C-alpha cells in the first residue's frame, strides 16, 4: 500500500488564499477516460465553506451534476475529493487526517459520481423507486470496495440506456437492466 498524500491549503502552497468561486480539480472518474467521464471538483462557496461537486460529460455533452458534500476546511474537502477519484486511502487533510469524512461519505460520493455518469440528476434520482435507488447504491458500494470497475459499470449503463431508448422502458426499468448487466460475472 502506498503512503497517504497530505493535502495542504492553497495559502500554504502559493501564499494566497483562494477567492470565493475558485475551483480546484481533483481529477476524473474513471481516471484517464475520454468518452464518458465525471470531473470531481472542490469549489470555495463562502469564507468557510468548501463544496465537493461531480459533473459528468459524454464527449462535449453535460450529463448531470451533483453537489456531493460540503466542508468547513479546504484541505478536508480536497482530500475527500482525491479519495473519491483515486481510492479511500489516497489523501488526508494536513490538519484533520480523514476524521472529517468516513466510509458512508465516500459511498455517497461514489453514488453521486455513478449517477452523474448515468446522466441521472439529483432530482431524477429522488423520483426513482426504492428498488432502483438501492440497485444504484449497491453498484456504487461495490465500486468503492474495488469489486466492480468503473468501466464495467459505464459499459453496463450504456447497454441499459440503449435498451431503454429502443424499447421505450422507464428509467426504473433501465436501472434494473443496468444492475442485471453489471452484476454478471
In this prediction, residue 134 carries a pLDDT of 97
Whether pLDDT at 85 is above 90: yes
Whether pLDDT at 1 is above 60: no
What is the rounded average pLDDT for all residues in the chain?
Answer: 90
User: Who contacts 165 (Cβ-Cβ below 8 Å, separation ≥6)?
Assistant: none
What are the beta bridge partners of residue 6?
92
What is the value of pTM for the model shown?
A: 0.90
CA–CA dist 102, 58 (Å, integer)? 30
| Residue 32 pLDDT level (bands cut at 50, 70, 90) | low
In this prediction, residue 42 carries a pLDDT of 95
Question: What's the average model confidence in pLDDT over 173-177?
Answer: 96
Cell numbers linked to 12:
500554504
Cell numbers linked to 93:
487533510
Question: What's the average model confidence in pLDDT over 115-119?
Answer: 96
Contacts 24+ apart (CB under 8 A), 126-131: 128/171, 128/172, 128/175, 129/172, 131/172, 131/176
Nearest to 78 by CA among 112, 121, 27, 120: 27
In this prediction, residue 52 carries a pLDDT of 97
51-71 pLDDT, tens digit each = 999 999 998 899 999 999 999
- The domain ranges of the chain are 5-182
136-170 pLDDT, tens digit each = 999 999 999 999 999 999 999 999 999 999 999 99
Whether pLDDT at 116 is above 70: yes
In this prediction, residue 34 carries a pLDDT of 63
- In angstroms, the first-to-last Cα distance of the chain is 27
In this prediction, residue 46 carries a pLDDT of 81
Question: What's the average model confidence in pLDDT over 106-115?
Answer: 96
Q: Are 40 and 150 in contact (CB under 8 A)?
A: no
CA dist 20 → 26, 59, 78 (Å): 18, 29, 15
Amino acid at each position: 500500500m502506498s503512503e497517504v498524500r497530505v493535502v495542504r491549503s492553497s495559502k500554504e502552497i502559493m501564499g494566497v488564499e483562494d477567492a470565493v468561486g475558485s475551483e480546484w480539480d481533483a481529477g476524473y472518474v474513471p481516471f484517464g477516460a475520454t468518452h464518458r467521464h465525471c470531473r470531481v471538483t472542490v469549489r470555495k462557496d463562502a469564507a468557510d465553506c468548501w463544496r465537493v461537486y461531480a459533473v459528468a460529460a459524454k464527449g462535449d455533452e453535460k450529463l448531470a451534476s451533483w453537489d456531493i458534500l460540503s466542508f468547513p476546511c479546504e484541505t478536508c474537502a480536497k482530500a475527500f475529493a482525491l479519495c473519491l477519484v483515486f481510492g479511500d486511502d489516497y489523501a488526508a487533510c494536513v490538519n484533520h487526517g480523514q476524521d472529517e469524512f468516513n466510509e458512508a461519505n465516500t459511498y455517497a460520493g461514489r453514488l453521486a459520481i455513478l449517477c452523474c455518469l448515468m446522466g441521472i440528476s439529483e432530482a431524477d434520482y429522488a423520483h426513482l423507486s426504492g428498488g432502483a435507488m438501492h440497485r444504484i447504491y449497491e453498484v456504487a458500494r461495490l465500486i468503492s470496495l474495488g469489486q466492480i470497475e468503473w468501466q464495467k459499470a459505464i459499459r453496463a449503463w450504456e447497454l441499459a440506456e440503449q435498451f431503454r431508448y429502443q424499447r421505450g422502458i422507464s428509467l426504473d426499468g433501465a436501472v434494473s437492466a443496468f444492475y442485471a448487466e453489471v452484476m454478471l460475472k
